[in-house]
Amino acid sequence: MHHHNWYYGQQHILARYCGLPDDFPPRLPGYLQHGWNVGCGWNPVHEFFDGAWRFVWSDAPRRRGHSLGRRDYSVIGAPMLYLMDLEPDLGRVPLQERKGTLWFLFHGWDAPGIGAKIHGDHQRLIDEIKETETEPVTISLYYTEFDRPEVRRVYEDAGFEVICFGTRGWNYEGTDRQFLYKQLKAFRGFKRVASNRLATAIFYGVAAGCEPAVYGDAMELEGDNPLFGGQTRISRLWPELLGKDIDLAAARAITDDELGKRFLMPPAEMRMLFDWNQRD
């Protein structure tokens, strides 16, 4: 239906969960939410085909979509949670043995002919990270920043290990199907997960057992659409998840809601929902 469904290999994970081949997963009859979203599941200007289903992680995007007059929503839970079910032991380290902080820099985005870069004071952010974190820090850069030497090298020169989990793909090409596998393996070895913006990686990290933190210069994104309220709205709606020392019980409860843990479904139900059952 739409190439965004392949981002990060999410459609591939759902196919595998349903017992189907995941190298070229079957067509998904609608749009799959590909990241944590403060709106109706997608960016404010996303175009939809009339009548297509919208498969979202949690009930909040469905409610917000309904308030905008949009229908045909189905809440299924985040594909990362299904991957955690498929790979219970991938990278697993006992909580008491975990070390270090996996720190995600807020990122821009890229597509052929379009995209947006982030702008901010990286050195000031580095100084705050060093003042805050008490254990070794690994910086995760999205491929759009990892491929910018002027960004990557400032973190390398500061003494951090700098990694990248791969590319999300575009128009069914360049999708790293192991993207979320690599993230899950990494999360399960770190004690903390942190970022300068509340974003998908924070929720994934908490789900994998990490202690969260959100602090530092939130930076700016070129052409950032203010329709959903930006950082001000996030601060108003999710204040419990902002700061350097966040209550873990509250973070886990909110994470379960935002990733749609209670909406996870068995493979047979998902195959029926997606019309993935084989016909004789």
Proportion of the chain above pLDDT 70, given as a percent: 92
Checking if the pLDDT of 40 tops 70, the result is: yes
Bridge partners of 170?
Answer: 173
- Domain ranges for the chain: 3-87+260-273, 95-252
Split at pLDDT 50, 70, 90, the class of 231 is: confident
Structure confidence at residue 43 (pLDDT): 72
Six token digits for residue 174: 């360049």
State what percent of residues in the chain have pLDDT above 90.
73
- DSSP states of 73-138: EEE---HHHHHHHH-TTTT---GGG--SEEEEPP--EEETTEEE-EES-HHHHHHHHHHH--S-EE
From CA 138, how far away is CA 112, in angstroms rounded?
A: 29
**Model confidence, pTM:** 0.94
Which tens digits make up the pLDDT trace of 243-253? 999 999 999 99
Q: What's the mean pLDDT in 157-163?
A: 98
Q: What is the CATH number of domain 95-252?
A: 3.40.50
**In the structure, what pLDDT confidence band is assigned to residue 24 with cuts at 50, 70 and 90?**
very high
Mean pLDDT of 170-189: 94
pLDDT on residue 109: 62
Quote the mean pLDDT of the chain.
Answer: 91
Share in percent of the chain as helix, strand, coil (round to 5):
40, 15, 45
Contact (Cβ atoms closer than 8 angstroms) between residue 244 and residue 232 = no
Asked if the model's pLDDT at residue 27 lies above 90, the reply is yes
Which residues are within 8 A (CB) of 223 and not within 5 positions of it... i.e. 6 or more apart?
A: 116
Residue 27 neighbours by CB distance under 10 Å: 11
- Distance separating alpha carbons of residues 115 and 2, to the nearest angstrom: 19
90-101 residue pLDDT tens: 999 999 999 999
- pLDDT in the model for residue 51: 75
H/E stretch holding 2: none
Of the candidates 70, 36, 54, 104, the residue with the CA atom closest to the CA atom of residue 260: 36
Confidence of residue 1 (pLDDT cuts 50, 70, 90): low
Select the more confidently predicted residue: 123 or 46.
123
The yes-or-no verdict on residue 87 having pLDDT over 90 is yes
Name, in order, each residue with C-beta under 8 angstroms of 38's C-beta and a sequence gap of 6 or more.
228, 229, 233, 234, 237
Q: When comparing pLDDT for 133 and 65, which is higher?
A: 133
- CA–CA distance, 120 with 67 (Å, rounded to integer): 34
